[in-house]
Amino acid sequence: MAEFTLELNDDQKQVRDWLHGFAADVIRPAASEWDEREEMPWPVIQEAAKLGIYSLDFYAQQFFDPTGLGIPMAVEELFWGDAGIALSIVGTGLAAVGVLANGTEEQIGTWIPQMYGDAKDVKVAAFCSSEPDAGSDVASMRTRAVYDQAKDEWVLNGTKTWATNGGIANVHVVVAVVDAELGSKGHASFIVPPNTPGLSQGQKFKKHGIRASHTAEVVLEDVRVPGHCLLGGKEKLDQRLARARERAASGGERVKNAAMATFEASRPAVGAMAVGTARAAYEVALDYAKTRTQFGRPIIDNQGVAFQLADMRTQIDAARLLVWRASWMASTDKPFTSAEGSMSKLYASETAKKVTAQAVQILGGNGFTREYPVERMHRDAAIYTIFEGTSEIQRLVIARTLSGVPIR
C-alpha cells in the first residue's frame, strides 16, 4: 500500500509540468474562440491525442497511480487551462469510469479502447444517466431496458439529457430501468455500440458556461443491444436484483445502483476540475491586483483586496487537500465512511464559484468583460455545483452518511 504524502514524486511532477505546458500553450490560446463558437474543439482534442494526453494509456497510467493523485493532478492542470476545452478532453472518462465501475474484465478490455480511438482516428464516449424528469431524482428514471430472451438482446427506450458528447459519441453508456418496482436499485448500465440503430441526438444545449463542451439529449427508440452489452452480465444483475428484492421486503440496507457507483468514483475528479478553474481565476486576480494602480498604489496594498486574495488561496488549497484525500482513499480501497468523495466535490465546487466571483470583483469593470478570462471562468464554475450531483445532493449524501438517517 502506498504511503500517503503531500509531496508529488519526480514522475508526477514531470507529468504535471508537461500538462501545464499543454494547457498554457495549446488550451488557453484557443479558449476564447471555442467558448464563442460553442462547438466541440476537435483540433485541440486531436492535438492532445497526438501528444498522448487524450489516450487510454495516459489515463490508465494516472488512474492506476498507487498514490491516487495522478487523476486529480492531471485534471487540475487541464482545467486550469480552460474548463470547456478540458471537459471535451476528459469527458470520455466518465463513460470509461462507468465501465470500470460496473463492467467485467472482458467488457473493460473491449469497450474502453473504442471510447478513445487513436491519434489518427480520435473517438469520444458519452455517459447517459440524467433525464428530463430525473436528474437528482434517479428513482424517477423512465428509460427502460427490456430483455428479449429469444434473441439475447436488451431493448432500450427513453430520452437522456445533459449528456456530455451525447449523440456524437462512438460509444454510449446508458443507465436504464430493468425493474421499476425496485426504484433506483432496479437500474443497470448498458453499452450502446457504434452505429446502433435507434439512437439519435436530440436537442443540443446552448449553455451558460463550459460552452466548448458538447452537451445534448440522447434519444433511444427500440435500441437493441446484444446481451453481452449489459455491464457486469446478466447473472450478476439477476443476483443483485434478487438481493435488492429481499432487502426491500425486509426493510434492510440499500443497494447501490449503477449510476451512483459511477458518480461516487468520479466525484473527486470533479472536485479537481473545480480546483483548476478556481486556481486559474485566483492567479489572474493576483497578477491584476499587483499591477493595477488606484490612488497612486497597487490595489493589492488595500486590505480589502489583499484579504480577499488570502481567503481565495486558503480555500483553493483546502479544496485540493480534500480532493487529494478522497482520491488517495479511493486508490487504497479505504471506504468513504464519512462521504469523503462528496465532501471533496461539494467544497471544491462551492470554492470555484466563490473564488471566480471574487476574481471578477477584484478586476472590477474589466472582470465583467470578455477581454479578461475571469468572466468566462466565472460562467464555467457554475456547472461544478450542478453536474454529477448538485451541492444540495452532496450535502444530503454527507448528512445521511454521518447520521445514518434517511434524510429527505
* Residue in 131, 134, 63 with CA at minimum distance from that of residue 92: 63
Any alpha helices (H) in 225-302, and if so which ranges?
Answer: 234-250, 258-291
Cβ neighbours of residue 262 closer than 8 Å, sequence gap 6 or more: 94, 97, 98, 101, 102, 127, 129, 189
Q: Is the dihedral of CA 98, 100, 103, 109 positive or negative?
A: positive
Would you call 388 a catalytic residue per the annotation? Answer: yes
d(CA 137, CA 370): 36
d(CA 393, CA 227): 33
Amino acid found at 67? T
Cα torsion 175, 176, 181, 183 to 10°: value is 30
User: What phi and psi values does residue 160 have, to the nearest 5 degrees?
Assistant: -105, 155
d(CA 6, CA 152): 50
Considering the candidates 76, 131, 388, 392, report the single residue annotated as catalytic: 388
Burial readout 210-239 (b: 16 or more C-beta within 10 A, e: otherwise): bbbbbbbbbbbeebebeeebbbbebeebee
Number of Cβ atoms within 10 Å of the Cβ of 116: 24
Number of Cβ atoms within 10 Å of the Cβ of 306: 14
d(CA 271, CA 265): 12
Q: Return the beta strands (E) in 82-229 as ranges.
A: 117-118, 121-122, 125-128, 144-148, 153-164, 171-177, 187-192, 199-204, 215-226
d(CA 385, CA 234): 35
C-alpha angle 344-38-213 in degrees, rounded to nearest 5: 35
d(CA 216, CA 97): 20
Residue with grid cell 438517517, as numbered in its chain: 405
Q: Which residues are catalytic?
A: 388
